[in-house]
Amino acid sequence: MKNIFFALLSLLVLSSCTQPQNDNAPQPEQKEWAIALHGGAGYVSKDMPEDRKQAYMESLEEALNIGAEILENGGSALDAIEKTVNYLEDNELYNAGKGAVFTSEGKNELDAAIMDGATLNAGAITGVTTVKNPVSLARKVMTDSKHVFFSADGAETFADQTDVERVDPEYFYTESRFQSLKRAQAAEQESGLIETNQQKAWKYGTVGAVALDKNGKLAAATSTGGMTNKKYGRVGDVPIIGSGTYANDLVAVSATGWGEKIMLNVSAHTLAAYMEFKNATLQQSMDYLVDDVLEPGDAGFIAVDKYGNFSMKTNTGSMFRAATDSDGNKEVGIWE
């Protein structure tokens, strides 16, 4: 009889230990949709001319409205983020598409990636020079090929088989970006340093968007011109799935910042894994990545979780960013 009693007691204790510890914790409120975007992180002085600041704020608002309207009307997260990123790629204020920075060889080489959280399918391209909107080609890689990642000439050949818009490489030329290259190269020759503080401030340019749609599906996309004065063949974090771009059924993440640091920490996936295995909230996971994993000055991130919560955080001092959701929550900003 005593053995039976202890056996029952052991089962009761074991059962209580395996129960979730937060049974009484309120469940997060489910939003119908949400979207967040970024236009690059780095150090941007608060002494920025007022007209330039206004141009950035207006463009962030416009990009946000594009994605939000698609989601409000029942469109997919994939459509919302692609069109949002397309707008940013077409705006020379940002280091993607039209505003891409120059490589050390004086070229504009573009990278992009997109990921469908519902299927874990993704598409990525790197080193393209004639594709007007690289993120749209990345989506074609995801939907129209059996591969995930095409590079350089191979990506251009794949683009030949699609209907994505093509342009002459001269389309990507902007005088301000070309002068940034010249200053970077002059500083490099004078000091022998690979990077000056001025270069560092401008290398954090990248655009991205993440979204949750009314069907509960998440998606992430990122597009960039890379790093000013980057060396031959250099590939950053953006097209590396799990580093600069990642989405699953729990969260969607897009990164901007020092690509090498983001890659070495598999950053976007690290945030998602922390959420899953630590049963952490989106904000807890974002804080862990930005504050504990990465070092000050490394990067910034945007993310949306399956409940429609959004988080945007950087440790670089500033990040062009915007977000909104179906409940009317909204944030548009540059500095921390």
Annotated binding site for substrate: 234-237, 256-259
Q: d(Cα 275, Cα 277) in Å, to the nearest integer?
A: 6
Report the candidate in 211, 215, 238, 217 with the shortest Cα–Cα distance to residue 66: 211
Q: Out of 126, 129, 130, 206, which one is annotated catalytic?
A: 206
Q: d(Cα 207, Cα 96) in Å, to the nearest integer?
A: 7
Using CA atoms, how far residue 158 sits from 115, 149, 226, 255, 267, in Å, is 18, 11, 21, 26, 28
Using CA atoms, how far residue 269 sits from 40, 277, 289, 298, 309, in Å, is 19, 12, 10, 16, 18
In degrees, to the nearest 5, what angle opens at C-alpha 219 toward C-alphas 218 and 223? Answer: 160
> Are 317 and 43 in contact, with CB atoms under 8 Å apart?
yes
> Are 35 and 60 in contact, with CB atoms under 8 Å apart?
no
Is 206 designated active site? Answer: yes
| Three-state DSSP state, 131 | strand
Q: Residue 273 corresponds to which tokens in the numbers above?
A: 């894994």
Residue position matching structure tokens 């050949």 = 157
> Are 129 and 105 in contact, with CB atoms under 8 Å apart?
no
Dihedral, 268, 271, 274, 276 alpha carbons, nearest 10: -80
Report the candidate in 280, 277, 285 with the shortest Cα–Cα distance to residue 311: 285
**Annotated binding site: which residue ranges?**
234-237, 256-259
Report the candidate in 292, 251, 249, 287 with the shortest Cα–Cα distance to residue 268: 251
Catalytic residues: 206
